[in-house]
């Protein structure tokens, strides 16, 4: 018997994994900036490059 909510469960699992990964990444960046006694600013170009790299990675493993 197929589960009728498999799509919703897949979307929620992916969203949860993405949220946890993002929070861990932000925490590590904050900790690094504090240890250097500086601030961290995210540039638009860097965000786009990171997002593109993540989509490329996901496309390759899917």
Please give the structure tokens belonging to residue 23.
Answer: 């929070």
**How far apart are the C-alpha atoms of 50 and 11, rounded to whole Å?**
21
pTM of the predicted structure, to 2 decimals? 0.64
Q: Is pLDDT at 15 greater than 90 in this prediction?
A: yes
Q: Is pLDDT at 12 greater than 90 in this prediction?
A: yes
Q: Identify the pLDDT of residue 1.
A: 56
Cα–Cα distance list, 49 to 38, 52, 57 (Å): 23, 5, 12
Instruction: Dump pLDDT digits (tens) for 23-48.
Output: 998 899 899 999 999 988 888 998 89
State the distance between the two ends of the chain, measured CA to CA, in whole angstroms: 24
């Amino acid at each position: 018997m197929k589960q009728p909510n498999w799509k919703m469960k897949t979307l929620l699992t992916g969203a949860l994994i993405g949220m946890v990964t993002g929070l861990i990444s932000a925490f590590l960046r904050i900790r690094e900036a504090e240890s250097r006694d500086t601030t961290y600013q995210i540039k638009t170009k860097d965000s786009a490059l990171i997002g593109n790299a993540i989509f490329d990675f996901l496309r390759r493993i899917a």
